[in-house]
């Protein structure tokens, strides 16, 4: 299927590796020119060059932290009129004890998992509306449907983002601008492996035992390839997806068992 987005300008956050990199690859395969941001210049430039070679698209890099005002300013200076925006905080979820968190700790997580995406949408959506095309996809997490113990900070922020999107999306859809969230489960990324090693250490067990436990809870019986997230995001950014908005699309191999 031709997704009808060849030549579109796409911003992808946290794109040097993991799910962000997969989203960039999938959009580039469809012919989008990219502006990608990540904190570490080396891996960012390596990802950009690999995408250029593989897909022949223009890739502009911005080395910075999208969770800061300076990072967002630099990103939008490099691509002031995006047609597509894929947001991701680029920050691993780290469990903790809510009894120990002060207001500053809560605000840090809300800044990274809520405010950054909202601010990018605020600054890009008006131009998309003027041009009569816009696709915004936020990389969230499946656990907003069933928040986990130890993750009240990040899961609440991402659930709040979904609520904000549900309001904003209805103002944007008359202008052919959609906003959706993809909610991935267990994807085979470096971030997942680091997290599982952490769980093993805290539980005084082995990494292999933790992996086996996670696979038992997943009806698909495997961790997903990052491309399975990237391709879903690319479809949500397509010309054909203009009637789908304000959705939280769970992509977790059947772990979540609710209807809604």
Under DSSP, the state recorded for 175 is: G
Report which DSSP code applies to 187.
Answer: B
pLDDT of residue 10: 99
Selection from 133, 116, 86, 89 nearest residue 230 by Cα: 86
CB-based contacts of 228-231 (< 8 A; 24+ apart in sequence):
228/187, 229/19, 229/22, 229/23, 229/139, 229/182, 229/184, 229/187, 230/19, 230/21, 230/22, 230/23, 230/24, 230/25, 230/26, 230/27, 231/26
Residue 17 has pLDDT above 90, yes or no: yes
pLDDT-derived band at 51 (thresholds 50, 70, 90) equals very high
pLDDT value, residue 199: 83
Confidence of residue 91 (pLDDT cuts 50, 70, 90): confident
pLDDT of 94 > 90? The answer is no
Of the listed ranges 37-41, 92-96, 110-114, the least confidently predicted one is 92-96
CA distance 260 to 258: 6
Which residues on adjacent β-strands are paired with residue 152? none
Residue 260 · residue 247 · CB < 8 Å:
no
Q: Which helix (H) or strand (E) holds 59?
A: strand 59-63
In this prediction the pTM is 0.95
pLDDT of residue 84: 99
pLDDT tens digits, one per residue of 184-239: 999 999 888 988 898 888 889 999 999 999 999 999 999 999 999 999 999 999 99
Q: What integer pLDDT is reported at residue 161 of this predicted model?
A: 97
Q: Tabulate helix, strand, coil % of the chain (nearest 5).
A: 50, 15, 35
């Amino acid at each position: 299927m031709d997704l009808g987005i060849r030549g579109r300008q796409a911003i992808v956050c946290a794109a040097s590796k993991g799910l962000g990199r997969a989203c960039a690859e999938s959009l580039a395969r469809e012919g989008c020119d990219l502006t990608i941001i990540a904190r570490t210049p080396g891996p960012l430039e390596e990802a950009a060059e690999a995408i250029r070679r593989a897909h022949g698209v223009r890739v502009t890099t911005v080395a910075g932290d999208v969770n800061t005002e300076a990072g967002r300013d630099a990103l939008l200076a490099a691509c002031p009129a995006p047609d597509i925006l894929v947001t991701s905080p680029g920050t691993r979820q780290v469990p903790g004890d809510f009894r120990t968190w002060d207001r500053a700790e809560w605000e840090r997580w809300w800044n990274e998992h809520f405010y950054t995406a909202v601010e990018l949408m605020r600054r890009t959506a008006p131009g998309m509306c003027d041009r009569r095309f816009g696709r915004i996809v936020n990389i969230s997490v499946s656990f907003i449907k069933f928040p986990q113990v130890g993750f009240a900070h990040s899961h609440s922020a991402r659930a709040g983002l979904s609520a904000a999107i549900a309001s904003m999306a209805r103002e944007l859809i008359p202008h052919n601008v959609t906003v959706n969230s993809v909610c991935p489960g267990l994807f085979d990324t470096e971030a997942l492996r680091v997290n599982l090693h952490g769980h093993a250490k805290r539980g005084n067990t082995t990494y292999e035992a933790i992996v086996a436990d996670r696979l038992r809870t997943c009806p698909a019986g495997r961790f997903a390839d990052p491309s399975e997230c990237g391709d879903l995001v690319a479809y949500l950014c397509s010309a054909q997806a203009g009637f789908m908005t304000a959705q939280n699309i769970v992509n977790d191999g059947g772990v979540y068992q609710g209807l809604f």
